[in-house]
A and B are shown apart, each in its own frame.
Chain A
Amino acid sequence: MSAVSVTELLYANAAERADAEAVVHHGERVTWGELVDQVERLARGLAANGIRAGDAVALVLRDDPWYVASFHAVSALGAIVVPVNPAFKQAELEFVFRTGEVRCVIADERSAGVCERIAAALEGPVTVVATSDAHGQSLTIDALVEGPPADRLAPRDPDETFVYQFSSGSTGRPKRVPRTHGQCAAEAALYASLGMTAEDRIFSAIPLFHTWGQGACLLAPAATGATVVILEDPNPFLLQRHRALELLERERATIFPGVPFQFRLLAEAPDGADLSALRLCFSAGTALPRETFEAFGEKYGVLVRQLYGATEAGVIAANMDPDPVATFESVGRPVGEIDVAIVDDDGQMVPAGEVGEVAFSSPALTDGYSNLDDVNRTAFRDGRFFTGDLGRLDAEGRLYIAGRKKLLLEVGGYKVDPIEVEDVLVAHPKVVEAVVVGVPGRADGEETVKAVVVPDDDCDDRELIRFCQERLANYKVPRIVEFRDEIPKSPLGKILRKYLV
């Protein structure tokens, strides 16, 4: 575990490059010196309002310099950052506030009202700080940072809790994932080991509340001194595509952490842009389709590399091959001192090339989920986290992700990989998107294969079933086909299968 806390990394940047840009947003340029000054003031203001070490503070903020300052101020105080999707509706916010045992909420003007209503209904006092007083909010962030410069903040203990992330819950209820200062500083150092430096300008188009955005756009700059260039309100990305290209070009961004959907939309943009400064594009979240990899590379002259991460540990592996054309399907080798093992059902390592469950150890890995001892005993063993993802390592140690272990369906004594069935369905000319799930079958523990399909044209279920029958063993063929307008997805594009069963 790293002996340094993220707060110390922040001070190191202020000492080494006080006048260099730390955050660029909407024409505003915040230097490292200014950022640390804001962090100190905000920490003082929060403390004056009763926030102490160990208190959970939710950030319900769009991506902007206040998000960056709040993230560092809350943690520098020893309080716990609870990043929240600002698009959440009241019930979702309430779930996070309760599960996170939140004592304070920092909310922007669009969310402050609903946060105040929720806070009023929760047991125990919850302080709401708004980024503006546009709606008559009583406590504003401007008031908190007023006054003379604040004192330097003490370094935090590496074992203190830094953040509560929530796992996306693509297969169940979101789990609270606590990570310490030491673990977050270790993740920051992992990004530095990928060759990021103070010269880099990281384009932030992944929400900062997400582990991917938090790691690549908040922790990585803290370790390296890189500048983060924030795309305002990245969703929906189609409406920000023009702005994204303008920013990437004008700000000469060098690193672009994204998701496949974004790279696809940029590759399809009618106009081009000069992205010659861009040296590293990382795609994470879901598998990068070959067409997107090729189209983006052709249009902008930079190849998209796959990166693999988890809410529990941040970045795990990244494809840093000098020429990733032949290996673009790989998420690369484990980063830094991370150790990835591919194991069978008994937890034994399988030979190179064979598919098994991906398990790994990392200095950035959480110690376990909050209040879920049973789950922890299964998921965290022998110093490793068992991801539930299926993958293989090639002879050179590159990792390839092959699907989700937990998704295998039990049908008549056979295991069915839904991805295999989905691949067949999407090959049908009238199918835009397809997700295959298991629904309870006739016998206990038995499942029936169900396909949820977004059709392109008028298309009936018998036609699709016939198509599958021609290409798949009978037990893999969907027995139920449901047509929908869209597939429910998490903010990063992960399919939320629980809503399809």
Chain B
Amino acid sequence: MAVVVELEQFVIGELTQGSGIETIDPEENLLANGIIDSHGLMELVSFIETRYGVKLADEDLTPENFESLATVGALVSARRTG
């Protein structure tokens, strides 16, 4: 399954329960639009590390990398092949 689709499922299933969000556009700004908060972010990082077997360095944790599902997906792909 495409990484971005899995990330969307995780965010909707685990981080936005009860908010009525059913889909997230890959380009939608996760932080500015309040889809993910500080705690959700920590869960997302830990999901990525467990699910994809990658270790995100502190330099990876930037607003640019976590702007949207597309940018998070790109980060995951880069770390998996890197």
Contact = CB atoms under 8 A, between A and B. Distances in A.
Interface of A: 87, 89, 110, 233, 235-243, 245, 261, 269-271, 484-486
Contacts of A238: 38, 41-42, 45, 61
A486 B58 contact: no
Interface in B11-64: 14-18, 31-32, 34, 36-42, 45, 57-59, 61-63
Contacts of B59: 242
Contacts of A271: 58
A27 to B, nearest CB: 17
A486 B57 contact: no
A245 B57 CA distance: 14
A486 B63 contact: no
A261 B58 contact: no
Main secondary structure of the interface of A (DSSP, over half): loop
Given A238-B45, A241-B58, A485-B14, A261 B63 contact: no
Given A242-B62, A269-B58, A236 B18 contact: no
A109 to B, nearest CB: 12
Contacts of A242: 58-59, 61-62
A486 B37 contact: yes
Contacts of A485: 14-18, 40
Main secondary structure of the interface of B (DSSP, over half): loop
Interface size for chain B: under 10, 10 to 19, 20 to 34, or 35 or more residues? 20 to 34
Interface of B: 14-18, 31-32, 34, 36-42, 45, 57-59, 61-63, 65-66
Given A237-B38, A239-B66, A270 B14 contact: no
Q: Which 4 A-B pairs have CB atoms at the shortest separation, nearest pair first?
A: A236-B38, A242-B58, A239-B63, A485-B17
A485 B42 CA distance: 13
Contacts of B58: 241-242, 245, 269-271
Contact of A239 (B14, B18, B32, B61): B61
Contacts of B40: 485-486
Contacts of B37: 236, 486
Contacts of A245: 58
A486 B39 contact: yes
A236 B63 CA distance: 8
24 contacts: A87-B34, A89-B34, A235-B38, A236-B37, A236-B41, A238-B41, A238-B45, A238-B61, A239-B41, A239-B61, A239-B62, A239-B65, A241-B58, A241-B61, A242-B61, A243-B62, A270-B57, A270-B58, A485-B14, A485-B15, A485-B18, A485-B40, A486-B37, A486-B40
Contacts of B65: 239
A240 B58 CA distance: 9
- Which of A236, A245, A269, A271 lies at the interface centre, i.e. has the most chain B CB atoms within 10 A of its CB? A236
Contacts of B39: 486
A269 B61 CA distance: 11
A486 B14 CA distance: 10
B62 A236 contact: no
A270 B37 CA distance: 21
A239 B65 CA distance: 9
A238 B31 CA distance: 12
Contacts of A239: 31, 41, 61-63, 65-66
Contacts of B62: 239, 242-243
Nearest to A433: B39
A134 to B, nearest CB: 15
Given A237-B38, A241-B61, A242-B61, 5 more contacts: A236-B36, A236-B41, A239-B31, A242-B62, A484-B18
A89 B32 CA distance: 10
Contacts of B32: 110
Contacts of B61: 238-239, 241-242
A87 B58 CA distance: 25
Contacts of B34: 87, 89
Contacts of B15: 485
A89 B33 CA distance: 9
A233 B29 CA distance: 15
A236 B15 CA distance: 15
A244 to B, nearest CB: 10
A241 B39 CA distance: 14
Nearest to B36: A236
A303 B33 CA distance: 36
Nearest to A485: B17
A450 B37 CA distance: 25
A238 B66 CA distance: 11
B61 to A, nearest CB: 5
Contacts of B17: 484-485
Contacts of B45: 238
A269 B63 CA distance: 17
Contacts of B16: 485
Given A239-B62, A239-B63, A241-B61, A261 B18 contact: no
A483 to B, nearest CB: 10
A255 B9 CA distance: 42
A242 B17 CA distance: 30
